[in-house]
Amino acid sequence: MQPRIDMVVSDPATGKPRRRVEYSGTVWLGGRPQVTGRMIINSGQWIKDLPPFFLPDSLPYKRDAVADGAVAVTVAIQSAPDHVTVHDARAAFGDDPGVPGRCWVQLAIAASGRGPLGISYRAVAITSPDAVDGA
């Protein structure tokens, strides 16, 4: 996980301030490969479409304050023992199951291949400056 970049920027269309938060890191599907000396031991487990997950470094957002917000994501295969295909990747504000009115940046990746898979992500959230819960 890289440091989170959190800044206030100006919307070029309106000139109003917007909060821009950039998240980046690596998610491992099927565990991490075991490295022993010069050998890498892979599980060989077949991976297909993981359930959506909250980014580990996501800030908490107020659900009612992200209505005019947006999240964009890019992903890339960072490590894989064999042929892997990323079919789709989407990011959104996902509701917190334990706290009504709170949400987090959530990522869903549709991929298939033999694991373990290391997938790097970069997600950017644009919201109103007061959208972060507790900030």
Q: Sorting pLDDT into bands at 50, 70 and 90, what band is 83?
A: confident
Beta carbons of 88 and 44 less than 8 angstroms apart: no
Beta carbons of 108 and 116 less than 8 angstroms apart: no
pTM of the model: 0.84
Q: Residue 135 has what pLDDT?
A: 54
C-alpha span between 57 and 121 (Å, rounded): 12
C-alpha span between 65 and 128 (Å, rounded): 7
Side-chain half-sphere CA neighbours of 40 within 13 A: 11
What is the radius of gyration, based on Cα positions, of the chain? 17
For the record, the structure tokens of 127 come out as 């919201």
Q: Sorting pLDDT into bands at 50, 70 and 90, what band is 132?
A: very high
Predicted confidence (pLDDT) per residue in 62-82, tens digit? 999 999 999 999 998 887 767
**Average pLDDT of span 120-129:** 95
Q: Residue 81 has what pLDDT?
A: 67
**Average pLDDT of span 1-19:** 90
C-alpha span between 109 and 51 (Å, rounded): 8
Q: Sorting pLDDT into bands at 50, 70 and 90, what band is 89?
A: very high
**Average pLDDT of span 117-125:** 91
C-alpha span between 134 and 50 (Å, rounded): 30
Which percentage of the chain shows pLDDT scores above 70? 92
For the record, the structure tokens of 46 come out as 């077949």
Q: Residue 93 has what pLDDT?
A: 98
C-alpha span between 62 and 79 (Å, rounded): 35
